[in-house]
A and B are shown apart, each in its own frame.
Chain A
């Protein structure tokens, strides 16, 4: 299951673009590699990030992983539901398990992201 309409990164984030809003999460492949997610350390709303910055971190029982900003901009929303239910990232990585919404600063950056088919090649490579 790899939604066609999303953009992807080599570090396993996805981006859903609606106007100037970019919702960011981690892919199904990433959540299945991590398994057992028990904590998502979300950033603060209002924080500005550059593409490639650490956006937030995710802890599974066994390990800790960092999520990188796939695009630059201001964080305008975070998924508060993950504070109580971090496992939503495992259960529904492309839906209820979204992480943050970034207000796009430079929409041109999207052209550097991967399409679903390119990302599929990457993980199946």
Chain B
């Protein structure tokens, strides 16, 4: 089992640790509900060092990434980050990721921990004929997410840099606490916030400095449990639950990151699917009956089995039992009812629009 550079910090904080994507990760420190609410109302700090960082450089870097991802890369400006995906030839999803444009010929890809090796191999295989260099630096880089309405205020305690100049989905390479880091205004919670990438051996220095900086702002350490309920409420897909190599980007409700004007792996299959029309699609739902839906619970449409719940949980801010589910396209209209099997009994649920939660600007 791998450990992040903050493993000892989590143990000292009394975190409950669980295996996740090959890492021993904190699932919660005190209570998922308290951590979730802290992020919505004040701020939370997450160790997400398990995430993969793959660097792509060389004269064909942009051209290569443009080809292997579904969203626009070539027109990105230096200092921008963008949500993107690697599609398969069938238009299904190898992984979803963030692309950071560090320089004209240098990019950082932030990928899911469980997929880092698979992605790296995929990139190696597809990069034949392109003049690019690929480096998997995941083990050498820490990633800390500081999320919530108080994030900027807390971060400003440890840097004089004008943080308001870093707009949503932009980043800067800068020195904080004497260490070169990448600081982006990004996150996976639906709140304002930042993600910091730096050398693994400096992780504890940043964690401790931020914890101290946030002491009077109600900052709480938050685990993977709250990270999951926050992203679910905010209507964000989770790889492995909501999409994988059996679901296309269109089915996974990710057409917004499919750039039809460019050529890329999987475009042909996706275009064909778009023209023929989708047969199923990922939608949000909430329970009509009582009961907590969970990933893998069986779904019934018109009394017949139809797959399983993609994501499901009680979500603390909206105080509802909600989730994501693939339904036949004719059953995806808002209000459409279906059933979920919970402990042997069928419970009614209905389609509702995503996101379940949207922050006030």
Contact = CB atoms under 8 A, between A and B. Distances in A.
Interface in A58-74: 59-62, 64
Main SS class of interface, B:
mixed
A39 interface: yes
A77 interface: no
B343 A38 contact: no
Contacts of B27: 62
Contacts of A115: none
A64 B292 contact: yes
Contacts of A57: 343
A61 B316 contact: yes
A109 interface: no
B49 interface: no
A39 B314 contact: yes
A36 interface: yes
B31 A35 contact: yes
Interface residues of A, number: 11
A41 interface: yes
A41 B287 CA distance: 15
B84 interface: no
Contacts of A59: 291-292, 314
Contact of B31 (A36, A39, A41, A64): A36
A60 B225 CA distance: 11
Contacts of A62: 27-28, 32, 225
Contacts of B153: none
Interface string A80-109: 000000000000000000000000000000
B32 A39 contact: no
Interface in B221-271: 225, 229
Interface of A: 35-36, 38-39, 41, 57, 59-62, 64
